[in-house]
Each structure stands twice: as structure tokens, then as C-alpha cells.
Amino acid sequence: MAIATPIVVVFEDLHWADLSSITLLESLLGLVEEVPALFIGVMRPDGAEKSDRILAVVRQQYLEKHTGLQLQPLDHRQCHGLVTNLLRLDDLPFSIRNMIARKTDGNPFFIEEVVRSLIDQEAIEERNGHCGSRSRSRACSFPGPSRNLLALGTKAKIQILSADRPAACATLLKAQELMRRSVPIPPYYQTFARTAQLMADISVLEETISQGDRASIPILLKRAKRADRVLLRLVSKVAWERVEALRLAGRLAWIAGKRDRALGWFSRAIAEGERLGARSELARTYLEVGLRLRSPGKAHGGLDSAGCLEKARSLFSALALSSEVDEAISLREHAA
């Protein structure tokens, strides 16, 4: 194609590419010596096996044809400008602006998510089409019911992950009662409890399927789908738990036998995890997809078992959890 007309080839998120893709790209780079081709690689820095490896090859072999553009984090002035544009507000207190810049390290994606979170926490409110800050006492305090629900949701998730289902059910009942009798609670504070509820519903559903109780499956599936819809509505408003919610939606669809739909949810979870830099959630998503595709051993919707497991292993290694993938594979094989 490049012989007939100049082409531009863009590789995004090279820091998540598997090693076979990196090797393939290295072999393609030599085409710049033969045909009018422009290769653009977009990547995060400090990836020894991925981005750094590609950069080393380019600088050693094609330095005269290479142009590097390194984007720096936004400084405080640029952060303040972005916040002003997002909120259409010039008089946001400096303390809040400074907190946003400090917490996000100048990452524009994170700035947007922190601004959303502040709105959900009622530290910022909308006034006549613009956003304004609330009083200091309201902005810096957490409403009692919201704080309690956040704690209950966190506790329930820990209990579910520890396989303590009776305790998790008791905690979730308290969370449901709190949501029923309290004033409307902002989405941010609900996400943990709603995520824990979906995790519990899926766990019960999977156990019921394994036991062959066909009469109960439709009821439990309907309940899980209802919890799934509620959680997805919440995470459309806040980023917290969004990757986890998309992954759980994929798991539920897979259990229901909707594999194409499941892979669509998993793909969305991966894309959102990469956008937000949520490495632990991204690692768990790659691991789950890799394990679920392992039996067929084929690529589905652009995802394949070996590639997903390799990415999961790379992410877990960066988090000092390198044994997670092998342990998960061992447990799955033992269960089979």
C-alpha cells in the first residue's frame, strides 16, 4: 500500500502491547527506509519491556528519521486553567484548585474525574448553568449517611473477597436500609455498596449454576441484572469503581451465555482502565478475560487468552503481585 501512496500508521497505548506485538512493530520499522511510511507510537514512559524498548531501537537504528515529542504534566497554572474551563468558573477557591492539581499530578484525565467527584461530594454545586463552590463547612465535611454507606460498602467488598458471604449479606442489608431511609445520597458514596451487591449476586448465581439448581437460576439472574443496571447508571456519573463495574457486567453476560456481549463489556473495561491508569482493576480484567478465553483457545473480538494473560502478568508484576496470574490459572485448573 505504501508503495502506491504515502501512509500513516498509528499505534496507541504501546505500553500495554504484548511482547509479540512489540517484536512485530520492530520488524516493520525498517519500512521507513524503503517506502513513504510514517509510524506514530503513543505510549507512557518508563516501560522497560515495551515503550523503552521501541524507543531504544528507533534511536539506535533510525535516529535521523525519528522525532520525539514528550508531553509533560500540566503545571499548576495549566491545571487551574483546565479546571476553570471544565467548571466555567473563575472564583473557585485557591485551596480547591491547589488540591486538584496536587492530587492529579497534572494528568488531564484525572483532573476531569476529580472535578466530577467534587460535584458528587457536593463540594461544588451548579448555579445558573455554572459551577460554584459551597461553603467551607459543607465542602469539607462528609454527610453522616454518606460516610456510613461508604464504610459499609467497603466492608461488604472485603467480606465477599474473603468468601465470608453471611457477614457480607448482613452488611449489605444494613447498606440497603441506610439507602432506603436516608436523604438522596450522591453516586460516589453508593458505588462501593452497589458494587458489593452485584459481586454478591453474581457469586450466588455462579454457585447455584454449579449445583445444578435450574429452578433458581432465572430468579437469581434477574436479580443480578437489576443490580448490574443500577451500578452501571452510577458509574456513568463517577469514575470510581467504573472499571470494576464494566468487568462485572462482562462476567454477568458471560454467565448468561451472552459471550459477544460479555467481550464487549470486557473491552470497555480495558479501554476505561487504560484511560484512567487504573492498573490493579485493569490487571484483574485482563486476567479474567484471559482465563475465560483459555478453554476455547481462540481470539474473540480482538482479545485472546495468551495476550490477555501476558498483559495481566506484566501489570501484576509492576504492582509486586507477580504470582497472581499463575495462582489463578492453577486454581482454575484444579477446579476443572
Helices (H), the chain: 19-28, 51-61, 76-87, 94-104, 108-120, 136-139, 144-161, 165-181, 187-211, 217-235, 242-255, 259-276, 279-292, 305-318, 324-335
Cα gap 306→288, rounded to integer Å: 12
- % of residues, the chain, pLDDT over 90: 22
pLDDT value of residue 1:
63
Closest to 245 measured CA to CA, from 255, 231, 257: 231
The answer to whether residue 135 scores a pLDDT higher than 50 is no
Q: pLDDT at position 91, please?
A: 61
Residue reference for cell 482454575: 332
Taking Cα atoms as reference points, which of 322, 252, 245 lies closest to residue 281?
245
Cell numbers standing for residue 19: 511482547
Q: Which residues contact 205 (CB under 8 A, 6 or more apart)?
A: 217, 220, 221, 224, 252, 255
What is the tens place of the pLDDT at every residue in 288-308? 998 888 765 455 667 888 888
Instruction: Report the pLDDT value the prediction gives residue 140, as an integer from 0 to 100.
Output: 39
- The pLDDT of 58-75, averaged and rounded, is 86
| pLDDT score recorded for residue 285 | 92
Tell me what pLDDT residue 125 has.
56
Which range marks the domain in which residue 334 is found? 242-336
| 10 vs 40: CA distance, rounded Å | 5
Query: For position 86, what pLDDT does the model report?
Result: 73
Residue 126 has pLDDT above 60, yes or no: no
Q: For residue 1, tell me if it sits in a domain.
A: no
Domain closes at, from 93, 110, 139: 139
Instruction: With respect to residue 70, please indicate whether it lies within any of the assigned structural domains.
Output: no
- Which of 203, 225, 240 marks a domain boundary? 240
Whether residues 90 and 104 fall in one domain: yes
Instruction: State the pLDDT at residue 326.
Output: 75
The reply to whether 171 and 221 lie within a common domain is: yes
- At CA 215, angle to CA 209 and CA 220, rounded to 5? 60
Tell me the torsion sign for CA atoms 180, 185, 191, 192: negative
The answer to whether residues 257 and 213 belong to one domain is no
In a domain, 317, yes or no: yes
Q: Supply the pLDDT for residue 138.
A: 42
Burial of 176-199, coded b for 16+ CB within 10 Å and e otherwise, reads eebbeeeeebbbbbbbbbbbbbbb
How many CB atoms are closer than 10 A to CB 55? 17
Sequence-distant (6+) residues with CB within 8 A of 42 are: 10, 11, 12, 13, 14
Residue 232 has pLDDT above 90, yes or no: yes
| Together in a domain, 228 and 162 | yes
Of 240, 267, 299, the residue that ends a domain is 240
Say which residue the cell 467527584 belongs to. Answer: 117
234 and 257 in a common domain:
no
How, if at all, do strands 124-127 and 37-41 pair?
unpaired
Residues 291 and 322 in one domain: yes
- Neighbouring-strand partners of residue 130: 127
Q: Give the Cβ contact number of residue 286 at 10 Å.
A: 28
Residue 215 has pLDDT above 80, yes or no: yes
Co-location of 180 and 199 in the same domain = yes
Q: Which sign, positive or negative, has the C-alpha torsion 28, 33, 39, 42?
A: positive
* Three cell numbers written together for 272: 476505561
Q: Which residue from 14, 7, 25 is spatially nearest to 311, judged by alpha carbons?
A: 14
**How many domains does one find in the chain?**
4
Q: Is 76 helix (H, G, I), strand (E, B) or coil?
A: helix
DSSP single-letter state for residue 32: G
More confident residue, 98 or 280: 280
pLDDT at residue 254 tops 50: yes
pLDDT score of 272 more than 60: yes
